[in-house]
């Protein structure tokens, strides 16, 4: 029998000898011997949740004020670009530079050759 197969068989035998954990021992005796929990109907809980959601909704007056404010904000012109943002010509130049960088190699050929050559080990480590 190959060594790997014999080790696997030994591992399975050892796993079979393991004692199964006592899961029931973690539950207190009072809970194991006590009555089952009382079930409650779900409909009253859902009704209370719906009522709470209805109470927390926005009033008609507040909704009208919010809609008016949203309309006023939509009517305003868009703000100008911040002072630090690139001008349209500069943005186009940056896009062209990015396209040129994407086309070529990331690492220069001479650097790539040096990396491919690897590291020479010192004589003490050879």
pTM to 2 decimals? 0.24
Long-range CB pairs of 66-69 (<8 Å, 24+ gap) are: none
Average pLDDT on 71-95 reads: 78
Q: Are 32 and 24 in contact (CB under 8 A)?
A: yes
SS (H, E, C) the chain: CCHHHHHHHHHHHHHHCCCCCCCHHHCCHHHHHCCCCCCCCCHHHHHHHHHHHHHCCCCHHHHHHHHHHHHHHHHCCCCCCCCCCCCHHHHHHHHHHHHHHHHCCCCCHHHHHHHHHCCCCCHHHC
The chain-wide mean pLDDT, for the chain, equals: 81
Spatial CA neighbour of 116 closest among 107, 106, 125, 124: 107
Going by pLDDT thresholds of 50, 70 and 90, the confidence category of residue 111 is very high
pLDDT at 9: 86
Average pLDDT on 69-77 reads: 87
Average pLDDT on 117-126 reads: 82
């Amino acid at each position: 029998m190959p060594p790997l197969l014999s080790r696997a068989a030994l591992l399975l035998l050892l796993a079979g000898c393991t004692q199964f954990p006592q899961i029931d021992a973690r539950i207190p005796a009072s809970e194991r011997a006590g009555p089952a929990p009382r079930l409650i109907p779900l409909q009253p809980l859902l009704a209370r949740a719906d009522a709470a959601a209805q109470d927390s909704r926005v009033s008609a007056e507040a909704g009208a004020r919010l809609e008016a404010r949203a309309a006023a904000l939509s009517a305003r012109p868009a703000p100008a670009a911040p002072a630090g943002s690139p001008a349209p010509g500069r943005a186009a130049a940056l896009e062209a530079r990015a396209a040129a960088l994407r086309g070529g190699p990331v690492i220069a050929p001479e650097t790539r050759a040096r990396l491919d050559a690897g590291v020479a080990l010192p004589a003490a480590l050879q």
